[in-house]
Amino acid sequence: MRFDSKVVWITGASSGIGKELAIQLSNLGATLILTSSNAVLLEILRSELQSTKIHVLTYDLFDLDGIPTLVEQALAFEGSIDYVIQSAGISQRAMAEDTDITVYKKLMDINYFAPLAITQAILPHFKMKNSGNITVISSIAGLIGFPLRTGYAASKHAVKGYFETLQCELYKTKTTISIVYPGRINTNISKNALIGNGQQFGLTDANNKVGMEVDVCARKIIRGIYKGKKTIIIVKAERILFWLWWFIPSLYYKIAHAKGLEN
C-alpha cells in the first residue's frame, strides 16, 4: 500500500486523527497539503516530516465564504489533488438545555458546512480529471445519538446525509466518497469540545481514556480509503451499543443514558 505520486490534502492536520494521518501518509510516500488554523503546529509537523514534499496551507474553516479561494490555493500547489481527507471538527460536552444556540451554529459550521463547502468547490476538479477521493471523518455519533452531544451528533448526522447522497449521485463516476465513523479514539477531542457557553471542556473524559490508539485508527482509515470503501466504521466496545441500538433500542437508550451522563 503506497501513495507515491499521490497528492493528499488533509484538513484538521495539526492534531488528533488528522495529524496521525499526515504522519502515516508521509511514510507511504504521499505529497501532503496540510491545513489547520494553527500555523505553529503545522510548521512543527512539517519539520517532523522532512522526507515528504509538504505544503502548509493555514486557514480557519469557520470562514466559510473564503473556502472556494482556499480550494484554489490548495490546487495551485501541485496543479492537482488526488485525495481530500476532511478531519477538522469540534465535539461537544453539554446537555441540550444548557447549550446556547451560538454553540450549535459553531458545531454545524465546522463539522458540516465546512466539509460541504470544500467538497462543492473541489468536485469540478475531480469531474474534469475523472478521478479523486473525498474522505470525511464523521463519528459513531453520526449514526446514533449519545448524551451531551446533541449539536455534535446533529452535525455528524448531517454529514452522513449529504455525503451518502453524494455517493449515490457519483455512482457512475470515478470520484469516490468515503465516510469514516470512528468511535472512542485516544485524542484531545474531549479537551477541545465545547460546553454550553462555547468555552472548551478542557478535560480528557473517561470515553477518550479508554479509546482506540490514534495510530491504529489512522491505519484503518488509510486502508479503507486505499480499498475504496464507502463506509469505514472504526469501533471497539461501541459496536455493542450500535448493535443494541439496531436490535434492542429500549436497552440502548437505558445504557446510553447511564453511561453518557457519567461524564
The predicted pLDDT at position 210 comes to 78
For 48-80, the pLDDT digits (tens) are 996 679 999 999 999 999 999 999 999 999 999
Confidence of residue 204 (pLDDT cuts 50, 70, 90): confident
Q: Is the dihedral of CA 223, 47, 38, 81 positive or negative?
A: negative
End-to-end Cα spacing for the chain: 39
Q: What domain range is 228 assigned to?
A: 7-237
Closest CA to 155 of 188, 107, 189: 107
Kindly report the CATH number assigned to the domain that includes residue 166.
3.40.50.720
- In a domain, residue 259? The reply is no
**Number of domains making up the chain:** 1
- Confirm whether 84 is domain-assigned: yes
Asked if residue 258 belongs to a domain, the reply is no
Query: Do the domain assignments include residue 52?
Result: yes
Q: Is 100 inside any structural domain?
A: yes
| 263 located within any domain | no
Single out the catalytic residue among 152, 162, 181, 252.
152
Q: For 142-180, what is each residue's pLDDT tens digit?
A: 999 999 999 999 999 999 999 999 999 999 999 999 999
Within a domain: 246: no
Question: How many of the other CB atoms lie within 10 Å of CB of 239?
Answer: 12
pTM for this prediction: 0.95
**Is 152 a known active-site residue?**
yes
Q: Is residue 58 part of a domain?
A: yes
